[in-house]
Amino acid sequence: MFIPILLATSCSTMVGLLLTAWIQKINLRDTVVLAYLALVFAALLSLVAYFSTLGMAQLQQQSSLISNLMIFSVIMLFLLVAHRKHVNVYDTFIEGAKKGFQVAIDIIPFLLAMLVAIGIFRASGALDIAMNIIRDGVSFFGMDTRFVDALPTALMKPLSGSGARAMMVDTMNTYGVDSFQGLLAATIQGSTETTFYVLAVYFGSVGIRHGRHALTCGLTADVAGIAAAIAAAYWFYG
């Protein structure tokens, strides 16, 4: 799962970065920024080129192996950097947990309002109507409609991570954990962001009432991540 999610997340991040830079008129010709973009692009291109040479079984096996190594390497890197800088990892973790608990208390009113809105959206049947419209449109063009069954997760994710997780679990219960729909829902869950949730809860908790272009940039990045997740799912899962 990690490699498809990594590819889709990289696409959404790049789109969000470029759109934000364009709207805010940020000059991306800085040497450090260009080097970062070139590095990310080269890494993605290398992964795509390597995986293109593998069959389906080898693709999944290598993806799992590389994913586990990358996750383990990141954890070890954090520990090594902390040791090098003489940081007490345990005490730092406890201090961060205390601050996180206070943040959770501060955002409860905004979180409650968001969850009520999501509950109304799901109970009203609007989500089912949207899925039927999309499925009919995809069928009209003669395209494969399997990905539509995972779109409830995609539509819910910008609103709520827990709501999207519930949609993902429901998809897995209906079609199976290892089904195309279940794997795609998991990929979407891991490669998109809770845009409305962030704007409503975290912006609201610090008194930001005008998000300016944050909504546009965030949703555009989400759309890019969803599209990339669908493409990666068809590539990796068939």
| Predicted confidence (pLDDT) at residue 35 exceeds the cutoff of 80 | yes
pLDDT attached to residue 114: 64
36 or 76: whose pLDDT is higher? 76
* Close Cβ partners of 57 (under 8 Å, ≥ 6 residues apart): none
**Is 70 exceeded by the pLDDT of residue 146?**
yes
**Per-residue pLDDT at 115 exceeds 70:** no
| 228 vs 238: CA distance, rounded Å | 15
Q: Model confidence at 111, in pLDDT bands (50, 70, 90)?
A: low
Mean pLDDT, residues 167-189: 86
Residue/partner pairs of 80-88 with CB below 8 Å, 24 or more apart: none
Question: What is the rounded distance in angstroms from the CA atom of residue 54 to the CA atom of residue 114?
Answer: 44
Question: Are 230 and 22 spatial neighbours (Cβ–Cβ below 8 Å)?
Answer: no
DSSP 193: -
What is the rounded distance in angstroms from the CA atom of residue 9 to the CA atom of residue 13? Answer: 6
Average pLDDT, the chain: 81
DSSP code at position 148: G
pLDDT on residue 58: 77
Q: Quick one: which of 97, 83, 8, 90 has its CA closest to 47?
A: 8
Please report, for the chain, the start and end positions of each structural domain, with discontinuous segments joined by +: 2-237
Kindly tell me if the per-residue pLDDT of 205 is higher than 80.
no
CA distance 79 to 85: 10
Q: Are 175 and 233 in contact (CB under 8 A)?
A: no
Q: Count the alpha carbons within 13 Å of 27 in the hemisphere toward its beta carbon.
A: 3
- Of the given ranges (29-43, 185-199, 210-224), which has the lowest mean pLDDT? 29-43
At 3 the pLDDT is 76
Least confident window among 107-121, 134-148, 213-227? 107-121
Predicted pLDDT of residue 107: 67
Instruction: Please list the alpha-helical segments (H only) found in 124-213.
Output: 126-140, 151-156, 161-175, 180-191, 195-197, 204-205
Q: How confident is the model at residue 9, as a pLDDT?
A: 85
pLDDT average, residue stretch 138-160: 83
pLDDT digits (tens, 9 = 90+) for 150-171: 888 888 888 777 778 878 888 8
